[in-house]
Amino acid sequence: MSDNFGIKEALKSLGIKDTNSGTSTGSNWLPNEGEKITSTSPVDGVQIGNVVTTSEKQYDEVVKSASGAFKEWRLMPAPKRGEIVRQIGEELRRQKEPLGKLVSYEMGKSYQEGLGEVQEMIDICDFAVGLSRQLHGLTMHSERPNHRMYEQYHPLGVVGIISAFNFPVAVWAWNTMLAWVCGDVCIWKPSEKTPLCGIACQNIVNVIFKKNNVPEGVSCIINGDYRIGQLLSNDKRIPLVSATGSIRMGKKVGEAIGARLGRALLELGGNNAIIITESSDLNVAITGALFGAVGTCGQRCTSTRRLIIHESKYEEVKNKLVSAYNQLKIGNPLDETNHVGPLIDKDAVKMYNNAIEQIKQQGGKMVLEGGVLTGAGYESGCYVKPVIAEASNDLQIVQDETFAPILYILKYRELEEAIEIQNGVVQGLSSAIMTTNLREAERFLSQAGSDCGIANVNIGTSGAEIGGAFGGEKETGGGRESGSDAWKVYMRRQTNTINYGKDLPLAQGIKFDL
């Protein structure tokens, strides 16, 4: 492993070893019983370390520990739970650089994006601290005399979290920090493609929990492939499972949870589009489209997949995009002079190549050809060229989400047509319009406009702020994480009525002679 970018020091700071137990109930790391997952960096193809998977017996031990911890954790006042989360935010600030480097090296996103992901963790800690004093209900007037009605929220219990490789730490934090201040305990299954990021986060949390005498079981981690995820999905002891990943995966998780009438928070695929109107500021539009399409090598759920361009601007936008793409620097993401890093692994490269073949077979036209990069600096075999293709929205390959830097450009004449194209996919995560026309902007944001969970004006589809609820509609799953009132999904709602009078009036005027 080359240490030109301080990776060895980062791993040491985060407590990462050559072989790591993948199962923990907190500070208690369970003995190695399962198989080994080898984490190999897509940056240089070098093995970073191993994580030992969770056995079914160990999984049961983890759930029992979490269930026991919940009984104690839920009784701690929410502001005190918030204070512990505040300290976690401070520890993340201290470890921001090494954790950002690990995210970049294990996942392949740029170092700037790695640091940005850790900053998202810090931001959600700050949000959760304030939230810990605002878990409010409502008070309602009763129709009965001498009665008071109100509603309150109680913690659910054990929350299962299944996260994806593309945001190996932030999505866990979005769920966990809110769940913790709500009084829940968490069991996290990180992606088997980025397991060391999960171990690092558990180590960071353990430092703070030890200082505050937090009981074992409040923060648990399990590791493995889809089979470990199935244990969470089918476990009646887990009232809520939050799962981030593909639509295919989400349907299976949702089916399993629905069969036991549990709760599912699903954040699934995106097929996000930007509409570029005749009145758009092209400097803004091109910048938003470029970052949205090639950021994280096209491996964000909010990545821009489609550009829907007004016919009067089509050729100009296409030419500007080609010029911008030709200036992209592809290489080691820890080198801040590079714009685009690698795909996560060689399986992703195969999907990328297959998508290019499908574009050609289905009648699309290549504007910028793709290909796998070889030679010095590209030894991992995971570096690819970003692609631009002209296509129509009804092509199956356009309808499908390909987790790679492939951008489809489409032409429209009237705004209604553009919105219809934008909405004409099964996914409904993020969307944007580039316009300086107020009527166009408001039309896009109206009830007859974008059908996505996120709709932006003059910013791209990629990225989100902590303060707003994040999630999408249709086959994106309908879940909401992070800000606004997303905290309510981690709690159960209870309506209370108190009779402080001397009589008990019954419904529908029923009376008993007693």
Question: What is the chain's percent helix, strand, coil content, to nearest 5?
Answer: 40, 20, 40
Q: Which of 125, 182, 201, 301 is catalytic?
A: 301
Instruction: Tell me the β-bridge partners of 264.
Output: 241
DSSP sequence for 107-147: H---HHHHHHHHHHHHHHHHHHHHHTT----EEEE-SSTTE
Residues 488 and 470: their CA atoms lie apart, in Å, by 14
Q: Respond yes or no: is residue 301 known to be catalytic.
A: yes
Residues 135 and 488: their CA atoms lie apart, in Å, by 9
* CA 36-38-42 angle, 5° bins: 165
Cα 7 off chain centre by: 25
Residues 500 and 403: their CA atoms lie apart, in Å, by 60
The region that residue 347 occupies, defined by phi over 0 for left and psi between -120 and 50 for alpha, beta otherwise, is alpha
Q: How would you list the strands of the sheet with 36-40, edge to edge?
A: 19-21, 47-52, 36-40
Tracing tokens 């887990």 back to the chain, one arrives at 238
Residues 65 and 81: their CA atoms lie apart, in Å, by 19
Residue 116 structure tokens: 């940005």
Q: H or E segment at 60?
A: helix 56-73
Residues 226 and 258: their CA atoms lie apart, in Å, by 18
Start-to-end Cα distance in the chain: 85
Q: H or E segment at 267?
A: strand 263-267
Q: Which of 106, 267, 440, 475 is catalytic?
A: 267
3-state secondary structure 421-467: HHHCCCEECEEEEECCCHHHHHHHHCCCCCCCCEEEECCCCCCCCCC
Q: Hey, which residues are catalytic here?
A: 267, 301
